[in-house]
Structure 1
Amino acid sequence: MKETLVRTLSGVLYISIIIIAMFTSREWFMGLFFILAVITLSEYLKLVHLTSYLAYFLLAAGFYFLSYNVFDDNAIYLLLILSGFVNLFLLKDVLWTSKIPMFEKKKYITVVFYIISGFVFLTLIPVMNIDGRFMPELIVAVFILVWSNDTFAYLIGKNFGKHKLLERISPKKTIEGFIGGMAGALLAGYIIFKVLEHYSQLYALEYPLWMWIVMALIVAIFGTIGDLIQSKFKRQAGVKDSGIIMPGHGGLYDRLDSIIYASPFVYAFLLIVDNVS
């Protein structure tokens, strides 16, 4: 009971800080997520046993030149393509190799095209419109999809889970939990659509229902993959959590692994829809 209370309180505090920063201004949003990215990167570097000041410099450069003050759209597209390939190779390593081969060069590849790029696209999502206007409701909606997926996956898996999803990597994850998480994300997508439709005078985010359904599926599928990849990193490192900054949850990497992995795919979907429409 005490553990559940601590987990709930720290989770509420974490969500409150993120939402408040998002709706304050783009600068506050960028500042908070840069801090989150630094902490997450630090936890990741410990997991893969890499000591590197260069990684923090690359993170800062990525945030400034690719997130806050984009110097070239083509650089974003190139990063998106490379990040997609690296993320899919990480999926391959999860499914078909006993250990993710983390020699020095590949460590930097994952640092740049998995961790850093995940945060870059996360901070680019709320400016996914023609005039580049900051739309915090979009990134808040994406986070709600992630949180809904995680919450429903946990509740359904804990109470009804019988069939293991990928036991050798994450013994607690079940097929029932995965399906429940997807259902939760789909339900959240429908509710978001109805809320934005009802308050259309307040929010200029006019995505049709099918887009929210597709985004919910992207978040549920790729978010789960991101969680499994992080679980494999932790298993290789021989640790239970990536950090201790969030009581009852572990580290920030533990909380953001799903959205870090899913963000390039969400961004790619929005980019495709924007160009087609």
Structure 2
Amino acid sequence: MNELFKRTITGFIYVFLLLSAIMLNADAFDFLFLSFGIICLFEFKRLIRLKELHIFLLFLLVWWLFIHLKTYPFSVYILLLATLLANIYLTMMLFNEKTPIRKQSNNTKLLISLLYIGGGCIFMPLIYKYENNPNPNYFYQNIFNNESQITMIGLLCIIWASDSFAYLTGKAFGKHKLFERISPKKTIEGFVGGLIGAMLIATAISYYSGRPLWQWLILAVILVVTGAVGDLVESSFKRIAKVKDSGTILPGHGGLLDRLDSLIFASPFAYLTLLIFDLF
């Protein structure tokens, strides 16, 4: 019961911080994910045995360039491409048992850390800024006066719903392993259940948003698929490091990276999806 109580309190504080920052303003959300990024980098650095401390200075520099300086859209596209390529590389590494990232050079580990963790955390505030327009859905403007608020809450709720539904359906019906070598408990049935749950939440979110239902459904699929891969990627690092959790900062939950792995990995794909939507 004590463990359940700790998990509940920690989860409540975590959700409260996220929702408060979203509803407050872009600066609060920026600062929150800057803090999250530093903590996740520290946890990831230990998992892969990266010795260099200047990863934190590099992260702060990249953050400053893309969040607090007025950058040209083209520069954001370069960061997006680099982050996506890093994530694709990590996805390919799931199928390569012979060359784990811990055996890579320090420069490679530094670059992967900066793009995978740093880039993932940077694209959350960039999505907030990209969607920073008045909510065109007049009926709900008294609740969400800005489209960025409903978009960020929607992204979080889709990820959380996917995790919850995947756990429940996997526990009840799971028989076929999704990726047994990396995560023995994850099942195909759980993944399908998570996808269904995410699409239900996406349908509900679309009523409050200026974006149409079809965009939210596609976004849900993108988030679930890339989020599942992100979870497997982090699990692979923990498996190689022979640890259960990435850290201990969240009592009852483990490390912050354990809670944000799906979101961090999925955020650049979500940003790309929103860009593509607005081309049509």
Regarding TM over 0.5, the answer is: yes
Q: Secondary structure at the match of 1:165?
A: strand
* Higher mean C-alpha deviation, range 232-241 or range 100-109: 100-109
State the one-letter code of the partner of 1:264: P
Could you say which residue in structure 2 is the equivalent of 1:227?
Answer: 231
How far apart in 2 are the matches of 1:188 and 1:98? 40
* Higher mean C-alpha deviation, range 241-250 or range 94-103: 94-103
Choose from 215, 227, 235 the match for 1:211: 215
Could you say which residue in structure 2 is the equivalent of 1:121?
Answer: 123
State the one-letter code of the partner of 1:255: R
How far apart in 2 are the matches of 1:107 and 1:25? 34
Change (3 A) 1:163 1:118: same
Segments of 5+ residues of structure 1 without an aligned counterpart are 197-204
Instruction: State the Cα deviation string for residues 27-74 of structure 1 (Å, max 9, x = none).
Output: 111111111111111000010111222211121122221123342321
Choose from 143, 146, 150 the match for 1:137: 150
How far apart in 2 are the matches of 1:262 and 1:14? 19
Given that 1:165 and 1:173 are in contact with CA atoms closer than 8 Å, whether structure 2 keeps it comes out as yes
Is 1:169 the counterpart of 2:182 in the alignment? yes
Q: Secondary structure at the match of 2:94?
A: helix
Instruction: State the Cα deviation string for residues 211-260 of structure 1 (Å, max 9, x = none).
Output: 10011001100000000000000011111000111122110000000011
Given that 2:26 and 2:128 are in contact with CA atoms closer than 8 Å, whether structure 1 keeps it comes out as no
State the one-letter code of the partner of 2:218: V
Is 1:110 the counterpart of 2:109 in the alignment? no
Structure 2 counterparts to residues 65-214 of structure 1, below 5 A: 65-102=65-102, 103=104, 104-129=106-131, 135-194=148-207, 196=208, 205-214=209-218
Q: Secondary structure at the match of 1:172?
A: strand
How far apart in 2 are the matches of 1:34 and 1:176? 35
Choose from 241, 248, 252 the match for 1:244: 248
How far apart in 2 are the matches of 1:134 and 1:66? 21
TM-score, normalization: structure 1?
A: 0.91
Count the aligned residue pairs.
267
Segments of 5+ residues of structure 2 without an aligned counterpart are 135-145
Q: Percent identity?
A: 38
How far apart in 1 are the matches of 2:18 and 2:27? 13
How far apart in 2 are the matches of 1:244 and 1:86? 26
How far apart in 1 are the matches of 2:130 and 2:71? 16
Q: Secondary structure at the match of 2:252?
A: coil
State the one-letter code of the partner of 2:205: I
Choose from 247, 256, 259 the match for 1:255: 259
TM-score, normalization: structure 2?
A: 0.90
Stretches of 4+ aligned residues off by more than 6 angstroms: 130-134
Change (3 A) 1:37 1:130: closer
Could you say which residue in structure 1 is the equivalent of 2:139?
Answer: none
